[in-house]
Structure 1
Amino acid sequence: MSAAGDLPAKRALWRRLGTLPLFSHYNRLVALVLGLNGAALLHGLNAGQWWTTSGVALETLAGLVLANLSMAILIRQQYIINLLFWLATRAPTSWPLAVRRSLAKVYHFGGLHSGAALAAIGWFAALLGSLSWHWMESLGGVSPALLWVNGGLLGVLLAVAIMAHPRIRARFHNGFERTHRFGGWTALVLFWASTLLFAQDQNPQSPLQEVLLASVPFWMLVGLTFSIALPWLRLRKVPVQLIRTSPHAVIARFGHVTPFPGSSNAISLNPLLEWHSFANIPTPGEAGFRLIISRAGDWTGEFIEQLPTHVWVKGITTAGVAHIETLFKSVVYIATGSGIGPVLPHLLARQVPIRLIWSTRSPRKTYGNELVAEILRAEPDALIWDTDLLGKPDLVQLAYDAVQTFGAEAVICISNQALTQRVVEEMEGRGIAAYGAIWDS
């Protein structure tokens, strides 16, 4: 095996600018959405489209709010996510690697969500300011009730956005999840109230139902409401069989669905407060699937200790980052600890030649002899690194060595945030396609 000193230097900075976190595909999508909204603003200013004979073009501003809000919500809808992954992975491996490695960044779609949400808040602030001006100047079409509702709505949207800031989200993750969930529901109710009041204020001489039936924003809001409600309409409590392989981990077995490799499902013990997503492990030819749940915090620790007989599930089986493997002729997987869970279904499916490097503490003691034997049957050349015996490995060096010896086209890392980001950046800095979760949801 190559020594750590054999790791080649990174490419010149100008050649790897696109691989730096600041210029990630996620941030590029944020910039794209904000840029398009900026272009709309400039076009409206130049064409004089922001004013009417009676004041500010309130309906135009409201339409831009709703358009961005629709993007922010729909891009997180599970069916849309699965469609994006399906489209991206249609490319055959005969296509140029440069094209395929860009398509594999499909999981950065969250940039569209963030960019559209920020733009929606910006347009909504402009709308609220315009409504306030209309009311103060007695231009008509704006009631105090509309102002109060929209003021409260802007406050909710700002709270959700602030809690979603990466540093705040990382430090107060449960607070972020609950703010996003309950704040999102509150915002939806206020949007409905705002839509009804706006329609009534702008068309005081017409029956409200006639105005709504002819209103495009109204029907868009109906569609958004259905999209938000759909996962919850699939909420159910299902039995789970748990095998505690050690005080550190359990293997959960479900039989209510048979998902596809590279997918995940969210489970909960209290569906209103906390949800956790885990990679599904289907076995070819068998119904149902497994999850590997390791102790990583209060919730997982409680789960392992209590061994519940039933859990709540909702939503739709959703594609995850590892689903992109079919874009490549061969792949090196880097996994640590329970990160073996997202990798195992791909080992079993055998869709792509894989070289596995799994770093974990006492693998047989922690996850059981049966799981380790299953991995080795699927990938006899897997490197299983026992950190209790060998210490922590240099996964960057191991990943590079595996790419060179195996001839892999890409590296997929399933680990904690810091290590994933390091492996991806170090590989891409040396011209090797690399992928890993970006913790944007």
Structure 2
Amino acid sequence: MSAPRAPNSAAPPYDDPEKGTLEIQAVHPTVVTLGLSDKKGDTTISTEVVPAPPVKKETPAIPPAKKPSPKQLSSWTLLKLWYNTYRKFFTVVFTLNMIALGFTIAGYWQYPVRYPGALIVGNISFGVMMRNELFGRTLYLIVNTLFAKWSPMWFRLACTSTLQHLGGIHSGCTISGIAWLIWRVVTVFKEHRIMPNSILTMGVISNFILVICAISAFPWVRNTHHNVFERHHRFSGWSGLGATWIFVIFSDLYDTETGTYNFTGPHIVRQQDFWFVLALTFLVPVDIELPSPKVAVIRFQRGMQQGLLSRISRSAVWEYHAFGVISEGPHAKYHYLIAGVQGDFTRSLVNDPPTHLWTRQLKVAGVSNTSNLYRRGIRVCTGTGLGAALATCIQSPYWYLIWIGSDQEKTFGPTISGLIHRHLGPERYTLWDSKQRGGRPDVMKIVKEVHATWQAEVVFITSNYQGNQEVMAGCKEAGIPAFGTLWDF
């Protein structure tokens, strides 16, 4: 693990207008040239740059209406929403592993008997790789480079769905690895007369820790007790991995005939488990960056491409929380995270703003990163979901923003408002302030209208559970391709 390093230069403090302490006067727009970089070259776009306008009451373009009663969905639509690509991946991976385990127990497949650790560490390694930043970014880069715009629509949608639901493979492989580990420990206990107590003990410890790790990742725990998930799944995951590392390697090195350990180099490197574990050990580096002292909007040095998530923490290993990255482009001076108060961690950012945060230097690619695949699209978000959506609309003129929130200007401040008004013309966004307009709108009505006029190919949604389900179901019924926030990790 890398020790904290001093940054080259500290981010300058926000000035008074950014803090919201100065009145913002109306300024005539000026025409500037913005360079938007993509994989095939540089595109130059002339646009109006408008400073963040003062807060003012506007007549709603759409009069507030009564919130429509939830539409009764067909059983087929509900089934398609529930049995998504995530669950399909999990089903395939877990079923194949259980079939293989059954053949092994029945004595029809001897490979796991000869190499007992290969299926354990192999599954866990592959599962962890699905969540690795470098692996994910590589997949997104390949897909966005080779298949953007020109490939058939069904294929591009399949690519997005596959990349978004890699967690199904992660869950399937890791749970299968735990099942193989349980089988291995049982077989070791059957040979307890010739196996040392140290190996037996380490096998039990590995099982116990990894089972806790798996339970903490259940959807109910993760969504209702997120801090419990973060602290147990992350910490137990790495602890269990270390214990499994010790158990697998030492059980491989123990010679049951002589009752001694074989620590010779050639014997170790011939074990497949050694190479699986070695590759896993060097996957995720951790570094520190200096954020802005801003309360709810955290600012970091350097720009980012759109569609990324940044994981931040107050400690190096205890817990990491992911937030959508807002940036004007890879060559911008800063990028921003919106940290709304929803739990202990985000509340601590507001009540006790840190001067330093741990962060992963290599960011996670989110579903928005596949926006490059489509010619035109719509980004729907509510509240702090703007953090995962805004960069896509800023960096691409072919994406439309629908943002629904309460008292947006006051809640999110002039920094976020300025990013919207500087880079998006009024023809490219619908901002619904539920406090000014008297309530939440009929979101699907807006989506359908924008989808028709904007000629969008796809809709990306970032909202809470209820909002996500409503829009996803509405789009499914209307035949509009849509991808929403995952709640079944």
In 1, are the aligned partners of 2:249 and 2:273 still within 8 Å (CA)? Answer: no
Match of 2:389 in 1: 343
In 2, are the aligned partners of 1:188 and 1:225 still within 8 Å (CA)? Answer: no
In 1, are the aligned partners of 2:90 and 2:171 still within 8 Å (CA)? Answer: yes
- The change in CA–CA distance for 1:6 and 1:206 in structure 2 (over 3 A counts) is closer
Match of 1:129 in 2: 186
Question: Which of 420, 427, 434 is the equivalent residue of 2:475?
Answer: 427
C-alpha distance in 1 between matches for 2:223 and 2:80: 23
Match of 1:199 in 2: 252
C-alpha distance in 2 between matches for 1:436 and 1:131: 45
In 2, are the aligned partners of 1:333 and 1:413 still within 8 Å (CA)? Answer: yes
Structure-to-structure mapping, 1:291-306, within 5 angstroms: 291-306=337-352
Structure 1 residue matching 2:311: 3-state secondary structure = strand
Question: Which of 285, 288, 306 is the equivalent residue of 1:231?
Answer: 285
* Counterpart amino acid of residue 308 in structure 2: S
Question: Which of 419, 431, 434 is the equivalent residue of 1:387?
Answer: 434
CA shift digits 1:227-254 (9 cap, x unpaired): 2xx323xx22x3222345xxxxx32221
Match of 2:94 in 1: 34
Structure 2 residue matching 1:231: 3-state secondary structure = coil
- The change in CA–CA distance for 1:267 and 1:96 in structure 2 (over 3 A counts) is same
Question: Which of 131, 135, 146 is the equivalent residue of 2:199?
Answer: 146
Which runs of 5 or more structure 2 residues have no equivalent in the other structure? 1-61
Structure-to-structure mapping, 1:51-200, within 5 angstroms: 58-89=113-144, 90-105=146-161, 106-135=163-192, 138=193, 140=194, 142-200=195-253
Question: Which of 444, 467, 477 is the equivalent residue of 1:396?
Answer: 444
Shift of 1:190: 1.4
CA shift digits 1:70-126 (9 cap, x unpaired): 111111111011112223333132322111111111111000110001111111111
C-alpha distance in 2 between matches for 1:358 and 1:369: 16
Shift of 1:150: 0.4
C-alpha distance in 2 between matches for 1:298 and 1:309: 18
Question: Which of 279, 282, 285 is the equivalent residue of 2:324?
Answer: 279
C-alpha distance in 2 between matches for 1:330 and 1:170: 32
Asked if 1:222 corresponds to 2:269, the answer is no
In 2, are the aligned partners of 1:61 and 1:126 still within 8 Å (CA)? Answer: no
Shift of 1:292: 2.2
C-alpha distance in 2 between matches for 1:332 and 1:143: 61
Structure 1 residue matching 2:333: 3-state secondary structure = coil
CA shift digits 1:14-68 (9 cap, x unpaired): 5x477321x11000010110122134345557872349xxxxx633432211221
In 2, are the aligned partners of 1:11 and 1:431 still within 8 Å (CA)? Answer: no
- The change in CA–CA distance for 1:347 and 1:36 in structure 2 (over 3 A counts) is same
Structure 2 residue matching 1:281: 3-state secondary structure = strand
* Counterpart amino acid of residue 330 in structure 1: R
User: TM-score by structure 2 length?
Assistant: 0.78
Q: Which has the larger helix fraction?
A: 1
- The change in CA–CA distance for 1:338 and 1:45 in structure 2 (over 3 A counts) is closer
In 1, are the aligned partners of 2:393 and 2:400 still within 8 Å (CA)? Answer: no
C-alpha distance in 2 between matches for 1:199 and 1:291: 46
- Count of residue pairs brought into register by the alignment: 418
* Counterpart amino acid of residue 85 in structure 1: Y
Deviates more, 1:268-277 or 1:94-103: 268-277
C-alpha distance in 1 between matches for 2:274 and 2:196: 19
C-alpha distance in 2 between matches for 1:308 and 1:149: 39
C-alpha distance in 2 between matches for 1:118 and 1:356: 39
- The change in CA–CA distance for 1:6 and 1:281 in structure 2 (over 3 A counts) is closer
In 2, are the aligned partners of 1:332 and 1:354 still within 8 Å (CA)? Answer: yes
Q: Report percent identity of matched pairs.
A: 25
In 2, are the aligned partners of 1:58 and 1:130 still within 8 Å (CA)? Answer: no
In 2, are the aligned partners of 1:359 and 1:385 still within 8 Å (CA)? Answer: yes
C-alpha distance in 1 between matches for 2:109 and 2:352: 61
Deviates more, 1:372-381 or 1:108-117: 372-381
Match of 1:408 in 2: 456
- The change in CA–CA distance for 1:167 and 1:91 in structure 2 (over 3 A counts) is same
* Counterpart amino acid of residue 362 in structure 1: D
User: TM-score by structure 1 length?
Assistant: 0.86
Match of 2:409 in 1: 364
Shift of 1:376: 3.4
C-alpha distance in 2 between matches for 1:264 and 1:98: 26
Structure 1 residue matching 2:147: 3-state secondary structure = coil
C-alpha distance in 2 between matches for 1:440 and 1:88: 24
- The change in CA–CA distance for 1:77 and 1:440 in structure 2 (over 3 A counts) is farther
CA shift digits 1:121-145 (9 cap, x unpaired): 111111111111222xx5x4x3222
